[in-house]
Structure 1
Amino acid sequence: MDQDSRAVCEQLDRALVESGMSQAAFAAALGTSASRFSTYRSGRTRPTAQFFLRAGRIAHALHAAREYRIMTAPATAAAIREASDDDWAWRMLLQGRDHLRLLLRRHDGSEAAWEAAPATTGRAGFDTLLAVLTAHEFEAAGEEPPEWSRAEALAEPWIPEHPFLDRDEIVEQTPAYLARANIFVPARDLMTA
């Protein structure tokens, strides 16, 4: 193996460690398989320059997010998946979204932590909602949304139950960007204190 190939392998190993994730989770966060990532790390296959740079940038951002206790897309999805009830899942979703907003305001590259694709929340509605909210926040900040956040609309409308509003009121009060994804949540329920 030549010197440059060895350096690429070493940098990918460092990126994996810095990410704080398992090889499978980090590979998925980068949009590839664990086996493909393994071939990059061993030097059997050469990654593209874009993949190589992206792996380092995202790993660094994930590390910084962990140090500052900032939620990332993978952490938000895990918190939703582990939530004991829907109320807690919503809190985790909105907390993650608020952390993304904070990172996007910094303009220092730390928003790359949200480029890491999350695993499933275990519920199609929350998976799509997390993707749509993420894309919306990136677009609102004038940034290109991560690839993973380009979600297809749900096949069936998702209208979570509401304590005060009926279905028609929920639909009427849903922002257009959510309605396009076939998700119906009143705008006020997306606000945090």
Structure 2
Amino acid sequence: MDKDTQAVADLLNQALAESGLSQAAFAAALGTSASRFSTYRSGKTKPTAQFVLRAARLAHALCKAREYRIMSAPVTATAIREASDDDWAWRMLLQGRDHLRLLLDRHDGSEAAWEAAPGPTNEAGFDALLAVLTAHEFEAAGEDPPEWSIIEALPDPWIPEHPFLERAEIIDETPDYLARANIYIPARDLATA
């Protein structure tokens, strides 16, 4: 392996370590497969300069988020997936969203932890809601939303069960940005203390 290829491999290995994620999770966060990322790390395939810079930037942001004890998009998706019930999954989603707000307010580049694409939550509704909330928060902060957060509307309406609102009330009380994605959740259920 020539010196430049070795230097790129070293940078990617350092980024992987700094990210705190597994190779598969970091590859997914970067929008590639674990096997493709492995070929970059071994020097068998040469990534673009943009990919290497993005890996370093996202790894640093993920590291910062961990230092701040703030959830990133991949951590939030994992917490939702591993939740013992829908109520806990909902709490993890809103906590992640609130942590994104904190990172966006810092203006130190750590919000890039939310540019890292999350893995699946194993629930299409939660996957879509995480994406839409993320895009909404970035846009509200005057930032371009991450690529992974720009999604098509769900093919069928997702209206999670509500303890005291009827279906029509839920639909009526849903913010427009959610309704456009075919997700129906009353605005009051998005508020946190």
TM-score band, normalised by shorter chain:
over 0.9
C-alpha distance in structure 1 between counterparts of 2:68 and 2:11, whole Å: 23
What CA deviation, in whole Å up to 9, does each residue of 1:136-188 have, x standing for no partner?
10111111111111122111101111122111111011011100110000111
Do residues 84 (structure 1) and 100 (structure 2) align?
no
Question: Does the alignment pair 1:122 with 2:122?
Answer: yes
Mapping of 1:44-193 within 5 angstroms?
A: 44-193=44-193
Structure 1 residue 121: Cα displacement: 0.5
Deviations, residues 88-132 of structure 1 (Å, cap 9, x unaligned): 111100000000000001111000101111111110000000000
**Which residue type is aligned with residue 126 of structure 2?**
F
CA distance in 2, matches of 1:21, 1:160: 31
In structure 1, what residue type is equivalent to 2:132? V
Task: Kindly state the Cα deviation for residue 86 of structure 1 after the two structures are TM-superposed.
Answer: 1.1
How many residues align? The count is 193
In structure 1, distance between residues paired with 2:73 and 2:13: 22
Percent of residue pairs identical: 79
Q: Distance in 2 between matches of 1:73 and 1:120?
A: 11
TM-score when normalising by structure 2? 0.97
Structure 2, unaligned runs of 5 or more: none
Specify every segment of 5 or more residues in structure 1 that has no aligned partner in the other structure, as ranges: none
In structure 1, how many angstroms separate the alpha carbons of the residues matched to 2:161 and 2:35? Answer: 41
Give the ranges of 4+ consecutive aligned residues of structure 1 lying more than 4 Å apart after TM superposition. Answer: none
**Partner Cα distance (1:148, 1:2) in 2:** 34
Instruction: Provide the C-alpha distance between the structure 2 equivalents of 1:68 and 1:180, rounded to a whole number of angstroms.
Output: 33
- CA deviation after TM superposition for structure 1 residue 58, in Å: 0.4
- Distance across 1 between alignment mates of 2:143 and 2:5: 32
Distance 1:155 1:13 in 2: 39
Partner of 2:23: 23
1:36 maps to which residue?
36
User: For 2:182, what is the secondary structure of its paired residue?
Assistant: coil
Q: CA RMSD in A?
A: 0.9
TM norm structure 1: 0.97
